[in-house]
Chains A and B, each alone.
Chain A
Amino acid sequence: DIQMTQSPASLSASLGETVTIECRASEDIYSNLAWYQQKPGNSPQLLIYDANSLADGVPSRFSGSGSGTQYSLKINSLQSEDVASYFCQQYNNYPYTFGAGTKLELK
């Protein structure tokens, strides 16, 4: 199985700040990576697919980058509605695997 190592596990940031979440795969996943946002009590929602493509309706302050085994999600100008957990997921090989998640809170 491909292991997805996500960091940090938790993050505290101020409104307007830029935050970055990292995800490292145990082997090359050829940009077959998605990022999801999960607000408390809700199901995950797709943010980014193919490592850097923004899903429909997602604000442009979210962006994804990376290749090979290293990927990142950046949130520019943090808003209060961005408080959530964020997960990466690889879909290059079965079984699908997810990162353990990053819990983003406001400072």
Chain B
Amino acid sequence: QVTLKESGPGILQPSQTLSLTCSFSGFSLSTSGICVSWIRQPSGKGLEWLATICWEDSKGYNPSLKNRLTISKDTSNNQAFLKITSVDTADTAIYYCARTTEGILYYFDYWGQGVMVTVSS
């Protein structure tokens, strides 16, 4: 059974660095074709893809935020991570991690439940 679960700080202040963890089970990020992505959704709004990391350590970033994003993984512990630097109120959103199975350009077949992140002074 494939599951993903996001965790994060809940609330942080402007200019801080947001660190998110995606813990998953039912698959491995060392398996050929497997990638994990981060997607966010401000309250009541649409979805924005942020970053992807794949089994062979290739990475992709949304150019609109690329300078602020770092994605990484810990294969042995079945986790993927995302850091966003210099956050501001526009980064307030639900953050999801999701899986793809056929490499870096594919659909998301499983999503986590999401974690709410609020940026506020």
Give A residues with C-beta under 8 Å from B: 1, 32, 34, 36, 42-46, 49-50, 55, 87, 89, 91-101
Q: Please judge, given known A-B contacts A94-B60, A95-B62, A95-B63, whether A46 and B108 are in contact too, CB under 8 Å.
A: yes
Tell me the smallest distance from the CB of A42 to a CB of chain B, in Å: 8
Tell me the smallest distance from the CB of A49 to a CB of chain B, in Å: 4
Query: 1/0 contact trace for B33-61 toward A, CB 8 Å?
Result: 00001000000001111000000000010
Expressed in whole angstroms, the Cα–Cα distance for A44 and B104 within the complex equals 19
Expressed in whole angstroms, the Cα–Cα distance for A34 and B110 within the complex equals 13
Contact of A87 among B46, B62, B105 (CB under 8 A): B46
Which of chain B's residues have a CB closer than 8 A to the CB of A50? 107
CB–CB A96/B111 < 8 A:
no
Tell me the smallest distance from the CB of A71 to a CB of chain B, in Å: 13
Query: 1/0 contact trace for B98-118 toward A, CB 8 Å?
Result: 000000111111111110000
Q: Please judge, given known A-B contacts A43-B96, A43-B114, whether A97 and B108 are in contact too, CB under 8 Å.
A: no
Q: Please judge, given known A-B contacts A43-B96, A43-B113, A43-B114, whether A98 and B108 are in contact too, CB under 8 Å.
A: no
Q: Which residue of B lies closest to A89 (CB)?
A: B107
Main secondary structure of the interface of A (DSSP, over half): loop
Q: Which residue of B lies closest to A48 (CB)?
A: B107
Contact of A55 among B63, B104, B109, B114 (CB under 8 A): B109
Instruction: Tell which of B46, B47, B48, B63 has the most Cβ of chain A within 10 Å.
Output: B47
Contacts A32-B105, A89-B108, A91-B106 known; list 9 others, CB within 8 Å: A34-B108, A43-B111, A44-B108, A55-B109, A91-B105, A92-B105, A94-B60, A95-B49, A98-B47
Which of chain B's residues have a CB closer than 8 A to the CB of A95? 49, 60, 62-64
